[in-house]
Amino acid sequence: MSTAHVGVLALQGDTREHLAALREAGAEASTVRRVRELEAVDALVIPGGESTAMSHLLRELDLLEPLRSRLADGMPAYGSCAGMILLASEILDAGSAGREATPLKGIDMTVRRNAFGRQVDSFEDDITFGGVDGPVHAVFIRAPWVERVGPEVEVLAEAAGHIVAVRQGNRLATAFHPEMTGDRRIHKLFVSMLSE
């Protein structure tokens, strides 16, 4: 493939840092807020932010079904934090009735929203990450964890005894925010997955 064009879902959350990280990792990157922008990209990053607000906006902007159908057609995707929650097939503690985070079913996993947040709102940890050399400094902010993975899901990292990074084929998800640290190894991993 020539340079991959990666979209960053830009409804809410930390879009700018992902755009910068993707460009530094060698991809073309632009924001996605409309169906035609979603149709134009090869892959999508769903950033951190608030998964319930993003779900609401996806419905309001008529992006929910187009996004689900691109994922069902095999579009590569990477979700960090709120993005991990949205990529799940099942969400626990999804939010109050009528305002729930909606699973996009991109990865066969059950994710618990705000899971670490019940213990401590945010924390940082140096973690081992499968396929990446050396420790990764991970920033967790009201982060989810993964409670169940399907047979095709590879666990890439754990923190405090919980799964915090997974891969299923061309889908990647982290409970933490690599875009915030200046370390581009996770974005490089995702960009390299696009040419596999």
Distances (CA, A) of 81 to 85, 118, 165, 195, 196: 6, 15, 10, 24, 24
Contact flag: residue 146 with ligand GLN (CB under 6 A): no
Distance of CA 16 to the CA centre of its chain: 15
- Residue labelled with tokens 């530094």: 24
C-alpha–C-alpha distance, residues 136 and 157, integer Å = 10
- Residue labelled with tokens 């960090």: 80
Which residues in 105-144 are b (16+ Cβ under 10 Å) and which e? ebbbbebbbbbbbeeeeeeeeebebeebeeebebbbbbbb
**Where does this chain touch ligand GLN (CB under 6 A) — which range of 23-31, 43-51, 63-71, 179-187?**
43-51
CB of residue 11 vs ligand GLN: minimum separation in angstroms? 12
Interface residue with ligand GLN, options 23, 105, 142, 185 (CB under 6 A): 142
CB of residue 42 vs ligand GLN: minimum separation in angstroms? 24
Contact flag: residue 113 with ligand GLN (CB under 6 A): yes
Contact 75, 44 (CB under 8 A): yes
Active site (annotated) includes residue 179:
yes
Active site (annotated) includes residue 177:
yes
C-alpha–C-alpha distance, residues 58 and 117, integer Å = 24
- Candidates 17, 18, 56, 81; catalytic one: 81
Residues numbered 62 to 81 that lie near ligand GLN (CB under 6 A) are 81
Contact flag: residue 171 with ligand GLN (CB under 6 A): no
CB of residue 48 vs ligand GLN: minimum separation in angstroms? 3
The reply to whether 51 sits in an annotated binding site is yes
Please, which residues have CB within 8 angstroms of residue 160's CB and are 6 or more apart in sequence? Answer: 116, 125
CA proximity to 152, closest of 109, 95, 89, 104: 109
Contact flag: residue 4 with ligand GLN (CB under 6 A): no
Interface residue with ligand GLN, options 4, 25, 27, 48 (CB under 6 A): 48
The reply to whether 49 sits in an annotated binding site is yes
Binding residues: 49-51, 113, 141-142
Active site residue ranges? 81, 177, 179
Q: Which residues are annotated as a binding site for L-glutamine?
A: 49-51, 113, 141-142
Residues that bind ligand GLN (CB under 6 A): 48-51, 81-82, 85, 113-114, 141-142
